[in-house]
Structure 1
Amino acid sequence: MSTNKTILVVDDDALVLESIVLLLSAADGFETISARGSTDAAGHLHGPRSIDVIVADIVLAGPISGLDVCRKAIEQRPSIAVVVITADTEAHRTDIVERGVFLRKPFGAETLLAAIRQSMEQVPEHDAL
């Protein structure tokens, strides 16, 4: 996959966060920004940097969930694509933001990349990958 897209990855589990960032960094052309929790993610979303996709875990430590982070991301950046990830077996596709792609952990590289492509296709402003 060749692209020049920036992806914000949000997870409070350092090992999961690092694994996803490494996986995406290995994919040709992706620039990744890691955020260890909702506060860190909010800082990146308020910043001047362009972010094309957010990949966020539903369950984050603290008062704000990954779903809340995604909703705020869409409010602040209407053209952002959303992939929501979770290991929570109680979470369902209907729990996520309207245009988000739902992905249950664990997942492999191809599954994640396919979810990112799908999420970007749901936002008309994005070029197809």
Structure 2
Amino acid sequence: MNAIRTLKLLGAAFVVVASVNAWAQGSESAAASAPTHGASKSEVRKANRALSKKVAQALSKGGVDTTGINVLAKGGAITLAGGVNDPAQIDKATSIAQGVAGVTSVKNALTVREGGQ
């Protein structure tokens, strides 16, 4: 009886150790992929806000109505979300955002708003 109990306990301990090791490896690779390069969280947030503002200004100067558009930045990756009145502005917004310095990729989640919304 004691031998079975001991084997179960050792097996459970092995599963816990293996899980902790796998979790630690996953978090290290995720941390390594974040392009912070030693910057603090507040510096990264500040840089993301500045890039978002820069892209929004470029869209506005480029003739895109930014009233219903949210520009989100995360480490150079831009997400455009919201709605536009003219379908042509969706592609125009993507090309303008890609031309802004510091932008590495653009995900366009813009939709066409139905009449007057």
Fold-level similarity (TM above 0.5):
no
Max radius of gyration: which structure?
Answer: 2
> Normalising by structure 1, what TM-score?
0.27
Structure (1 or 2) with the greater helix fraction: 2
> Normalising by structure 2, what TM-score?
0.29
